[in-house]
Amino acid sequence: MNLDIQFKIKANPNYQRYLRENSHWYKILNRHPEQFNYFAEEMKERYKLRTTDKIDDFLEKIKLVRKFMNIIS
């Protein structure tokens, strides 16, 4: 595997965890290091680390607080 790719994976615990859970990426990244961006996007989608996921989570928390406030008042 390309050293640059190895350093990126070692620097991010989420990359390491996803790579261990989905070992087929070892072969893909060894043969095609340019696929790293697809690997990173797939990891973000799986662990819900995308910006849209964070916004959705924040909106759900706001809805929960609103419901709580309606019950109290």
- Does 1 have pLDDT greater than 90? no
Residue 63 has pLDDT above 90, yes or no: yes
Task: Give the tens place of pLDDT for each residue, 27-53.
Answer: 999 999 999 999 999 999 999 999 999
CB proximity list for 39: less than 8 A, separation 6 or greater: 15, 18, 19, 25, 28, 29
Residue-wise pLDDT for 7-30, tens only, equals 999 999 999 999 999 999 999 999
pLDDT value of residue 37: 97
Percent of the chain with pLDDT over 90: 95
